[in-house]
Amino acid sequence: MENFLKTHSIDKFLDFPHLLHAFSPRGFDRGNGVYQELLLGRTADSKVSQQHRQLLLESLNIESKDLFLVHQVHGDRVYILDNPERSSGEVEQIEADALVTDLMGKPIAVLTADCVPVILYDPEKHVAGVIHAGRKGTQMNIVSKVISVFVKTYGSCPESLRLAFGPAIGRCCYEVDDSCIEPFRHTYPDWRSFVTPNAEGGFMLDLLKANESDALNGGLLQENIHYSGECTSCHNDRWFSYRREGTTGRILSLVMLRRLPGKV
């Protein structure tokens, strides 16, 4: 049966033929114009979730039946997938909000619905990472902590790293109160660059720009940071948005290393 699921990608990351990345859409055409929403996680029907995960892998021509996700807790822990014998079921029990690996053919992913999905890649060391950067994780500098893992574990040079932000809620739609902004004042000297007071006495928070600031502080070059360019809340027909909908599905952001030529 033909697979009608079409994922999304970031153009600049297509320059790396040995890196596969994708962001799942809200739904797909099952054929004959029949639309179905993707249920990839946090659903009461785990059987459908597993079926849709496999459909996603097949749409990307990934032979593996395993999809490696962690148990996300809105923190800053980074899990390193370095054991090729570790099962996806074991990994999904681990509390973390980022995964990093240098193993080939192991698709790693995070689930989001407004939070910022981040893909990080070192084309020199051939190492990849994927990050769930929610407000709390961003406050704790999760992106720069993942960059540190690349440097300390794999000998990466931050200036060589490439970063892609997937679909996330934009400054236009993310209103928060002062208690949400207070932690940023302590961890980001430039917090005013991504926080804007509004007429109602609250603040509009640009979570993407906050994570960009964290990445730059971690040593990345501005020209190596790329955006998908779509706000999940504004484009609710294309993406799931917790802020706009409440209980809803999740976007799955995936990265996988392909084997380099000449490598066994």
Q: What's the CA dihedral at 179, 163, 11, 98 to 10 degrees?
A: -70
The pLDDT of residue 1 is 45
**Amino acid type, 260:** L
The pLDDT of residue 65 is 87
Q: Which CATH superfamily is domain 11-257 in?
A: CNF1/YfiH-like putative cysteine hydrolases (3.60.140.10)
Alpha-carbon distance of 136 to 184, in angstroms, equals 10
How would you classify the pairing of strands 108-112 and 127-133? unpaired
For the cut 90, the answer to whether the pLDDT of residue 14 exceeds it is: yes
Q: If DSSP states are collapsed to H, E and C, what string results for the chain?
A: CCCCCCCECCHHHHHCCCEEEEECCCEEECCCCCEEECCCCCCCCHHHHHHHHHHHHHHCCCCCCCCECCECCCCCCEEEECCCCCCHHHHCCCECCEEEECCECCCEEEEECCCEEEEEEECCCCEEEEEEECHHHHHCCHHHHHHHHHHHHHCCCHHHCEEEECCECCCCCCEECHHHHHHHHHHCCCHHHCEEECCCCCEEECHHHHHHHHHHHCCCCHHHEEECCCECCCCCCCCCCHHHHCCCCCEEEEEEECCCCCCC
Alpha-carbon distance of 185 to 57, in angstroms, equals 41
Proportion of the chain above pLDDT 90, given as a percent:
83
Given the structure tokens 């440097």, which residue do they identify?
151
Q: What is the pLDDT of residues 138-193, one digit of tens each?
A: 999 999 999 999 999 999 999 999 999 999 999 999 999 999 999 999 999 999 99
Do 192 and 168 touch, CB atoms closer than 8 A?
A: no
Find residue 204's DSSP bridge partners: 175, 196
How many alpha carbons lie under 13 Å from residue 11 in its C-beta half-sphere?
1
- How confident is the model over 46-52, as a mean pLDDT? 87
Do 255 and 128 touch, CB atoms closer than 8 A?
A: yes
Backbone angles phi, psi at 103, to 5 degrees: -80, 140
156 or 200, greater pLDDT: 156
Proportion of the chain above pLDDT 70, given as a percent:
96
**Amino acid type, 93:** Q
Q: Where are the domains of the chain?
A: 11-257
How many alpha carbons lie under 13 Å from residue 247 in its C-beta half-sphere?
3
Query: pLDDT band at 229, cuts 50/70/90?
Result: confident
Backbone angles phi, psi at 24, to 5 degrees: -75, 145
The pLDDT of residue 263 is 60
Q: What is the pLDDT of residues 72-129, one digit of tens each?
A: 999 999 999 999 999 999 999 999 999 999 999 999 999 999 999 999 999 999 999 9
- How confident is the model over 51-70, as a mean pLDDT? 93
Query: pLDDT band at 32, cuts 50/70/90?
Result: confident
Query: pLDDT band at 44, cuts 50/70/90?
Result: low
Bin 33: left if φ > 0, else alpha if -120 < ψ < 50, else beta. Answer: left
| Average pLDDT score, the chain | 94
Query: pLDDT band at 64, cuts 50/70/90?
Result: confident
The pLDDT of residue 8 is 96
The pLDDT of residue 46 is 82
256 or 200, greater pLDDT: 256
For the cut 70, the answer to whether the pLDDT of residue 264 exceeds it is: no
Rg (the chain; Cα; Å): 18
The pLDDT of residue 262 is 65
